[in-house]
Amino acid sequence: MLFNSWIFIGLVLATMLVYYQPVLKNLQIYILLIASFVFYAYDSFYLLILLFASGVVNAIASYGAKYRRRSRLYATTGVVVNLTLLALFKYGNLLSLTFLDIENGIGKFLCTLPLPLGISFYTFSGISLVVDAYRGRFDEVKGEVPKFRRYLKDTLLYICFFPKLLAGPIVKSKDFCVQIGTKTFDDIDWHFVFKSLVTGYFLKMVIADNLKDFTFWMTYPYFESEGTGTLLLMVFGYSIQMFSDFAGYSLIAIGVAALFGYRLPENFNFPYIATSFREFWKRWHITLSQFLMEYLYISLGGNRKGKKRTYLNLLLTMMLGGLWHGAAWSYLVWGTYHGLCLVMERMFCGRREYCIQIGKSGFAGKLSRYSSMALVFIAVSFGWLLFKLPHFDEAILYVTRIFDNFGSVRFIAPKSLPIIMYVIPVILYHILYYFRNNELVKKYILRFDYVLYGIMLFLIITNSGSVNSFVYFQF
């Protein structure tokens, strides 16, 4: 069920109508669970069984890891089960195509397994729950051991809560479980909800859904006949599309969750103003970055075992993070690419805010900062080619055509010019945030932010692109 569909809006409104009935306040968790199951079953009715089973297994494993003897065994089993589910359903096809005979036996079986929507996200939620329970990072009821029935109910809500179910944000269990309780309609922060939903739907429906019609020409073999300017414009347009699509989804999820009294963590913080790759990953898909940092990078040793081990840990973390995005070797290459960027940056620049050092202040300092910002944006944008063109040879061919077609084909095709129109609002969105403390910006622009939201709302109604699923649904 897409966030940008009328049936989803109907589900949210119907759930709210029942959820906030005073006589049903003690059933709010069950109401959210039913809504979540309906939301998931709309596209994957049979795979709802897998989601429910995952919730039950994680409840048993985390409960045992926190409240029973042999807690380490419970925790280990829970993590192994989650990783096995992920490997079986998401990577079984890739492994069978690479190493097994797909005509017979287990290889054929693995190729027939479906890819459950959101499995990457709800298995990571399960791992967070089990590990946090084992480490004693949260208490459901202080001073007493909760009954398993209540614990199961809370765990299912954490795993299945529909705003975050299919594409995050990835919420740590210790941050979500403490919020579970009775909510009232009067507690809704309508200003926060309005800003989140309008910005989210604008980024998704106006920017991403319109850009997709023009970045379509990046696919093979259409890009081969395009000029250098068009090819570059589409690369940067697709980069903006990726941000708008996923940041839009996250803001909608955060806004919808707030309607039911739950705060999900920020997932994007204007990533394209980053002046280093390290900063970029603190701003892009923040909850995934934090998850990989806390549960993988630090577990591998982090930066505590010398420089060479730190570089290796960074590379391994990003490689696995890349492979998490999809069951294709191109995603592993993408993760390796970002891992190498982080390693080289740390090797040559340390932990400086930006690498290009021209001066410490004044014009030279600003030039250094803006140059680093442009360098990171360009490098990240070309990395997204591996998402648009999952076949590695096609991505290489695309880059080759940028050089080969210079001067031999019309530099910029007229059909690609609308990309500029849809890119500009996102650039301005980042610029306004970057200069948010400037007196002129605060006085003449941010002071009248309701006008900006009014314009975005108007464009959502009048200039939305054709309905399209969210990019991260495939992960």
282-331 tens-digit pLDDT = 999 999 999 999 888 988 888 888 888 999 999 999 999 998 887 788 88
Radius of gyration of the chain (CA): 23
Q: Is omega for the bond preceding 221 within 30 degrees of 0, making it cis?
A: yes
Neighbour tally for 405: CB within 10 Å: 20
Neighbour tally for 438: CB within 10 Å: 13
CA–CA separation, 273 and 372 (whole Å) = 9
Alpha carbon distance, N-terminus to C-terminus of the chain: 15
Listed residue (128, 153, 122, 127) closest to 140, CA to CA = 153
The catalytically annotated residue of 325, 338, 391, 430 is 325
327-344 tens-digit pLDDT = 788 889 999 999 999 999
State the average pLDDT for the chain. 88
199-243 tens-digit pLDDT = 999 999 999 999 999 999 999 999 998 999 999 999 999 999 999
Q: Which letter, b or e, does each residue of 232-248 get, where b requires 16 or more Cβ atoms within 10 Å of its Cβ?
A: bbbbbbbbbbbbbbbbb
- Is residue 242 within 8 A of residue 471, CB to CB? The reply is yes
Name residues whose C-beta falls within 8 Å of residue 181's C-beta, 6 or more positions apart in sequence: none
**Structure tokens that stand for 288 in this block:** 């995934």
Is residue 431 scored above 80 in pLDDT? yes
Active site residue 338: no
Is residue 142 scored above 50 in pLDDT? no
**Structure tokens that stand for 358 in this block:** 């021209």
Which band of pLDDT confidence, cut at 50, 70 and 90, is reported for residue 473? low
pLDDT of residue 359: 53
Is residue 117 scored above 90 in pLDDT? no
- DSSP single-letter state for residue 427: H
CA–CA separation, 305 and 310 (whole Å) = 7
250-273 tens-digit pLDDT = 999 999 999 999 999 999 999 999
Residue 418, burial from CB neighbour count under 10 angstroms (0-12, 13-18, 19+)? middle
pTM reported for the whole predicted model = 0.92
CA–CA separation, 261 and 115 (whole Å) = 31
Is residue 153 scored above 60 in pLDDT? yes
pLDDT of residue 351: 67
What average pLDDT score do residues 123-151 get? 79
pLDDT of residue 139: 57
CA–CA separation, 195 and 42 (whole Å) = 28
- Percent of the chain exceeding pLDDT 70 equals 92
pLDDT of residue 360: 57
Is residue 50 scored above 60 in pLDDT? yes
Which band of pLDDT confidence, cut at 50, 70 and 90, is reported for residue 401? very high
Phi, psi for 94 (deg, rounded to 5): -60, -45
Is residue 129 scored above 60 in pLDDT? yes
3-class DSSP state of 171: coil
CA–CA separation, 56 and 82 (whole Å) = 12
**Structure tokens that stand for 219 in this block:** 């696919």
33-44 tens-digit pLDDT = 999 999 999 987
| Cα angle: 88, vertex 395, 113; to 5 degrees | 15
Assign residue 168 a region (left: φ > 0; alpha: ψ between -120 and 50; beta: otherwise). Answer: left
CA–CA separation, 399 and 397 (whole Å) = 5
CA–CA separation, 245 and 2 (whole Å) = 12
Residue 320, burial from CB neighbour count under 10 angstroms (0-12, 13-18, 19+)? middle
- Is residue 386 within 8 A of residue 350, CB to CB? The reply is no
Taking 3-state DSSP, the helix, strand and coil percentages for the chain, each rounded to the nearest 5, stand at 75, 0, 25
| Cα angle: 46, vertex 47, 48; to 5 degrees | 90
CA–CA separation, 173 and 187 (whole Å) = 22
CA–CA separation, 75 and 79 (whole Å) = 6
Listed residue (125, 147, 139, 115) closest to 79, CA to CA = 125
Distances, alpha carbon 171 to alpha carbons 132, 254, 353, in Å: 12, 11, 28
**Structure tokens that stand for 323 in this block:** 């492979």
CA–CA separation, 136 and 174 (whole Å) = 9
Helices assigned H by DSSP within 350-417: 362-383, 385-388, 392-404
Which band of pLDDT confidence, cut at 50, 70 and 90, is reported for residue 48? very high
Question: What residue type is assigned to position 145 of the chain?
Answer: V
CA–CA separation, 301 and 410 (whole Å) = 52
The tokens 């499995």 sit on which residue? 119
- DSSP single-letter state for residue 23: G
3-class DSSP state of 121: helix
Neighbour tally for 57: CB within 10 Å: 19
pLDDT of residue 141: 44
